[in-house]
Structure 1
Amino acid sequence: MSTIPRPALYLGLAGLMPFLWGVVTLLSPALADATRTLIGPRFSGHTILTGYGVVILCFMSGVLWGFAARGRGGSWSGYVLSVAPALWAFFFVGGPVAQSLNALITGFVVLLVIDFRFALWGLTPRWWMRLRLILTSGVVACLALGLWLV
């Protein structure tokens, strides 16, 4: 398996920071209050976990669409799978916090399965699944902690 390119690894890991921040502000009410005061309520606690989770799930749909476009013959299956994470977020994230976090955890786990399917089709870089395993583990751990702290 080839090495993950440093820019992809570092930027991917940096993308975990809002998830980590959400958990940290759930664990520290003082930090959550300071965050709400300085930059607004959507940047702390469950709000950032769910809001940023939706953004990243939709972003990953776009990435998958790009992979589907690399496929042969315009296969429907790749395109259908590529839009599934964004549609999942649209239809199932919202309402009670626990419901939203559960929907996001499910969405990211299913996204990993879709990533694996695209890798098997040869549409992803060889290092893709290594990166996706690292990032999905981090995201799901943060969302699960957020769920535990509801």
Structure 2
Amino acid sequence: MTTIPRAPLVLGLLGLIPFVWGAATVLSPDLADWSLATFGARFVGPYVQLFYGAVILSFMSGVLWGFATKAEGAQAATGYALSVIPALWAFFTTGSGPVAAGLNLMAGFAGLLLLDFAFWRWGLAPAWWMSLRVLLTAIVLACLAVGVIL
């Protein structure tokens, strides 16, 4: 395993806060009540996870697009085409109720990990990329599962 540089690791972990917060407010009614009174409904339970998850899938489409710029010819065209899938997935699959949207986001993040792997195998992502992406994806999926199951 390649060591993840400090900046992407710290920023990636900080980017998990809305997912962890959402799971925490599902698990703790007192925290949910406080969050509702302090921040409003959008920042409680699965709702913060669903909105932020759609944003992050869209962001990751941009990251993959950036990786595709390093390719040429047919591989570049394939990379560009694949890079838009996470954003489109988020757009088309998160408009239903919280359980269905949560399940769809979980599928989206699992699929994103497969795309990450493809770009990494093609040599378009840094050597440490999969170490970071597996870590972050595992935490995202666990947090989304809390919102879906409970």
Q: Which residue of the partner structure matches residue 120 of structure 2? A: 119
Deviations 1:60-109 (A, max 9, x none): 11100100111123721100110000000000111111110110000000
- Which AA in structure 1 matches 2:39? I
Q: Which residue of the partner structure matches residue 36 of structure 1? A: 36
Task: Determine if contact 2:68/2:80 at 8 Å carries over to the other structure.
Answer: yes
Q: CA deviation at 1:51?
A: 0.6
Q: CA deviation at 1:55?
A: 0.8
Q: Which residue of the partner structure matches residue 65 of structure 1? A: 65
Seq. identity, %:
54
Deviations 1:14-71 (A, max 9, x none): 1111111001111112211211111221111011010111111111111001001111
Moved more, 53-62 or 72-81: 72-81
Q: Which residue of the partner structure matches residue 45 of structure 2? A: 45
Q: Which residue of the partner structure matches residue 131 of structure 1? A: 132
Deviating beyond 3 angstroms after TM superposition, the runs of 4 or more aligned structure 1 residues are none
In the alignment, structure 1 residue 19 sits paired with structure 2 residue 10: no
How many residue pairs get aligned? The number is 149
- Which AA in structure 1 matches 2:93? F
3-state SS, counterpart of residue 115 of structure 1: helix
Task: Determine if contact 2:26/2:146 at 8 Å carries over to the other structure.
Answer: no
Structure 2: 5+ residue stretches without partners = none
TM-score, length basis structure 2: 0.95
Matched residues in 2 for 1:110 and 1:140: separation?
12
TM-score, length basis structure 1: 0.95
- Which AA in structure 1 matches 2:30? A
